[in-house]
Amino acid sequence: MALDRIDFAILDTLQKDGRISNSALAEKIGLSQSACSRRLDQLEKSGVIEGYHARLSNGALGHRMTAIVHISLSGQFEKSLAEFEAAIKRCPNVLSCHLMSGEYDYVVRIAAKDLEDYERIHKEWLTAMPHVIKINSSFALREVVDRTSMGIRPETA
């Protein structure tokens, strides 16, 4: 889908306020409500907008520790990757998981209540994952940036 400046304005506004009403969005962008609704529907159907979410505070929910975990598998065979990825998706403490190039196969971000809770996650989940041969954990001291939005603007020629 080719995006124009109006689409980018819609996306930028929604990144800042995903709960904005269609009428407020239309007014802000300078469209009629029906035109805004059609564009929004197209952005959703085309997959540019993947969904709408509430941003929760891990700390307020008792998860005050973030672990960054580097995981190596026994090999990067399609079956091994698929089995590991299916297992990691079931772990409720996993916030994100990325297949990587380089020294480790995956980088995983995990929320834990404390070090004892992380040890439980490590024992019950991470070491039990299929094909895992190495786990290297680091603990975040402080969060500096955790964006839910990115700077978007129309491409200029």
CATH code, domain with 14:
1.10.10.10
Show contacts of 46-50: CB within 8 Å, 24+ apart. Answer: 46/1, 48/1, 48/3, 48/7, 48/11, 49/11, 49/14
Write the CB contacts of 141 (distance below 8 Å, at least 6 apart in sequence): none
CATH number at residue 108: 3.30.70.920
Number of domains in the chain: 2
Residue-number span of the structural domain to which 35 is assigned: 5-45
In a domain, 93, yes or no: yes
Look at residue 4 in the predicted model and tell me its pLDDT: 92
Question: Residues 17, 71: one domain?
Answer: no
Look at residue 154 in the predicted model and tell me its pLDDT: 66
Lowest mean pLDDT across 24-33, 109-118, 122-131, 143-152: 143-152
pLDDT, averaged across the chain: 93
Question: Residues 72, 130: one domain?
Answer: yes
**Is residue 65 within 8 Å of residue 113, measured between CB atoms?**
yes
Answer yes or no: is pLDDT of 139 > 90.
yes
Question: Residues 76, 107: one domain?
Answer: yes
User: Could you give the residue ranges of the DSSP H alpha helices within the chain?
Assistant: 5-16, 22-29, 33-45, 78-90, 115-121
pLDDT single digits (tens) 13-28: 999 899 999 999 999 9
Answer yes or no: is pLDDT of 54 > 60.
yes
In a domain, 156, yes or no: no
Q: What predicted TM-score, i.e. pTM, was given to this entire model? A: 0.82
Question: Residues 23, 86: one domain?
Answer: no
Question: Residues 99, 35: one domain?
Answer: no
Answer yes or no: is pLDDT of 108 > 70.
yes
Answer yes or no: is pLDDT of 1 > 70.
yes
Question: Residues 38, 73: one domain?
Answer: no
Lowest mean pLDDT across 20-29, 70-79, 114-123, 148-157: 148-157
